[in-house]
Amino acid sequence: MKALHYSDWKKIGLVDVTEPQAASGEVLVRVAACGICGSELESFRSESPRRTPPLIMGHEFCGHVVEGGSESGFTSGAKVIANAVVGCGTCSDCESGNDYLCTRRRVFGMNMDGAFAEYVRVPERAILHWPSSLSATEASLAEPAGNAVHVFRAINEFDHKRVLVLGAGPIGLFCQQVCQALGGSDVVVTDPQSGRRDVASRLGARLAVNPMETDLVRACQDVWSGNGPDVVIDAVGTAATKQQSLAIASVGGAIVWIGLHSDQVAISSYLITLKELRVVGTYGASADDMKQALDLMVSGDIDASTWVATVDFENSANAFMELVDGTHAATKVVINPGSD
């Protein structure tokens, strides 16, 4: 089969590889669509040990079962979506449906082969139903959209009338939309790229600003009658955005760190204490988060298509490299390896 293979540091290309075989408890899925995730681009760029070549990446996908499926009932022909994170299935976190917290979790395209390929092996535990009204492109984005639902669940108990989202990449745009849809939040979004700000505005952001050129504190106060954000969602995760999230959050406010750009960073820790901030991290999505994200797509409350570009397999390596270099025009690219 063909696969977009990350063969060595800084090397990715379309090659022929052996078709995988489903083991017991797994199904073999013919991939219909697989999103290219920002975390994969960042891993490629920084030669991150989180994704070590040789590897087939790709963890945002949907497809058709072609083999297996005795345990889950998802038999040949079933349209399915997979969670990116697969738990061990036996620990207490997995038993509570929180596979993303499992200490023995595996992630597609990280420590098992992913779906930048014609076929992928999928543990039945990770499978969800692909709603028939959604296109392959939309269904493939249930995972990143589910991450945004997961973020919303983390802030739901706090005030979230005024939400500031740092970064209008795919995760930021999904967080924006989910906060608007589920929380009725008024959302301000920041991004240095004008194309991404345009998308955020079109998707209903109160304001989309360039943080390099705008006094963000002032911009928020202007639209929120002198108030700051109740919640800041950092969908970037650099030293600058982590510090910015602490500095700009209102007293007693909440902050979600989902972006994973930089690990060791210098921050003003006093801000957390003196402003009594609640800083939470979120990672991944549960099956329920993904199902809720799919419901929001089906109802039209979140848009997972008009700002997403698709690319066929032949052009996928080029698209990947353009995304790595920042020269691709689209905010999000989904690979369609097959004919459907």
Strand, coil or helix: 169:
coil
CB of 57 to Zn ion, least distance (A): 10
What backbone phi and psi angles, to 5 degrees, belong to 5? -105, 125
Q: Which residues 126-185 are close enough to bind Zn ion by CB under 5 A?
A: none
Q: How far is the CB of 36 from Zn ion (least distance, A)?
A: 9
Q: Give yes or no for residue 304 binding Zn ion (CB under 5 A).
A: no
Report in angstroms how near the CB of residue 28 gets to Zn ion at its nearest.
22
Stretch that binds Zn ion, among 85-93, 198-206, 213-221, 327-335 (CB under 5 A): 85-93
Question: Does residue 87 touch Zn ion according to CB under 5 A?
Answer: yes
Of the candidates 91, 267, 287, 309, which one interacts with Zn ion according to CB under 5 A? 91
Q: How far is the CB of 105 from Zn ion (least distance, A)?
A: 7
- Nearest-approach distance from CB 227 to Zn ion, in angstroms: 32
CB of 59 to Zn ion, least distance (A): 6
The only residue of 94, 175, 203, 277 in contact with Zn ion, by rule CB under 5 A: 94
CA distance 266 to 240: 9
| Residue 192: φ, ψ to 5° | -70, -20
In which residue are the tokens 């740092």 written? 166
User: Rounded to an integer, what is the distance from CA 6 to the centroid of its chain?
Assistant: 20
Closest CA to 259 of 321, 169, 328: 169
Listed residue (41, 32, 282) closest to 178, CA to CA: 282
Complete DSSP assignment for 83-146: -SEE--SSSHHHHTT-GGG-TT-EEBTTTB--SSBSEEEEEGGGEEE--TTS-HHHHHTHHHHH
Total site size for Zn ion, rule CB under 5 A: 7
Kindly tell me which of 88 and 321 has the beta carbon lying closer to Zn ion: 88
Which segment (81-89, 127-135, 194-202, 288-296) binds Zn ion by CB under 5 A? 81-89
Selection from 88, 138, 180 nearest residue 305 by Cα: 138
Q: Which of residues 27-56 bind Zn ion (CB under 5 A)?
A: 37, 39
Cα 254 to chain centroid, rounded: 21
Task: Report the alpha-carbon distance of residue 51 to residue 44 in Å, rounded.
Answer: 8
Nearer to Zn ion, 62 or 94 (CB): 94
Of positions 29, 102, 126, 141, contacts Zn ion by CB under 5 A: 102
Supply the minimum distance, in Å, between the C-beta of residue 301 and Zn ion: 21
Strands 11-16 and 2-8: antiparallel
Judged by CB under 5 A, the stretch of 26-34, 88-96, 115-123, 269-277 that binds Zn ion is 88-96
Binding residues for Zn ion (CB under 5 A) = 37, 39, 87-88, 91, 94, 102
